Chains A and B, each alone.
Chain A
Amino acid sequence: DTGVSQDPRHKITKRGQNVTFRCDPISEHNRLYWYRQTLGQGPEFLTYFQNEAQLEKSRLLSDRFSAERPKGSFSTLEIQRTEQGDSAMYLCASSPGHTVNTQETQYFGPGTRLLVL
């Protein structure tokens, strides 16, 4: 399967612990996005990368959150000192991103469901 993959699929942690999620985009996709979704809501944008450059960050991305895409391929999203309010589904998506200023179809992964106790 050459779709977007995310790992882990589920994570349960205690408040105050750090967690890290991984996203592997579709091969040769230059753009990678992170979204967060809580129950009954649509996904909310967190950040996106064009290759290894992080081009936009949402105000939702507090200083406890950090995302990286060091080689322009996979990405990691780390949450430090987790809080119960961080409990959500974290979705990753990718798109070709070969042309600037075009809105493209985004291909989503299955998500990582985080529960902070």
Chain B
Amino acid sequence: SQQGEEDPQALSIQEGENATMNCSYKTSINNLQWYRQNSGRGLVHLILIRSNEREKHSGRLRVTLDTSKKSSSLLITASRAADTASYFCAPNNFGNEKLTFGTGTRLTIIP
């Protein structure tokens, strides 16, 4: 399995602004997943994007995948205080069942 590297490590924005965080990985993948973790709690799945997909939307979330650059981005539009959390990406190789996480992006929404 391989670990994704999230960037930036920390991000603070005003409520209502858009937040963008990035994930880079090293080898080809089958899919890539994004998860959110509120402080002291378990992870919540946000989006799974497959290697043959370039963009996916879910509510205020937009995920892109560029397999040529081995990178993905997560855009949260019209941020809310409840979006304050750590965000992790998990790139998955074919045949690998476990998730491997980086250190995440810590997002803080300022009211």
Contacts and interface: CB of A to CB of B under 8 A. Distances in A.
Given A103-B30, A103-B92, A109 B98 contact: no
Contact of A43 (B31, B40, B43, B92): B43
Given A108-B43, A110-B41, A111-B41, A45 B100 contact: yes
Interface residues of B, number: 25
Contact of A107 (B45, B100, B103): B45
Interface in B15-74: 30-31, 33, 35, 40-45, 48
Contacts, number: 58
Interface of B: 1, 30-31, 33, 35, 40-45, 48, 88, 92, 94-104
Contacts of A113: 40
B102 A42 contact: yes
B95 A105 contact: no
A108 B44 contact: yes
A14 B95 CA distance: 40
Contacts of B30: 103
Contacts of B92: 103
Interface string A70-94: 0000000000000000000101010
Interface of A: 4, 31, 33, 35, 40-45, 48, 55-56, 89, 91, 93, 101, 103, 105-111, 113
Given A42-B88, A42-B104, A45-B100, A101 B44 contact: no
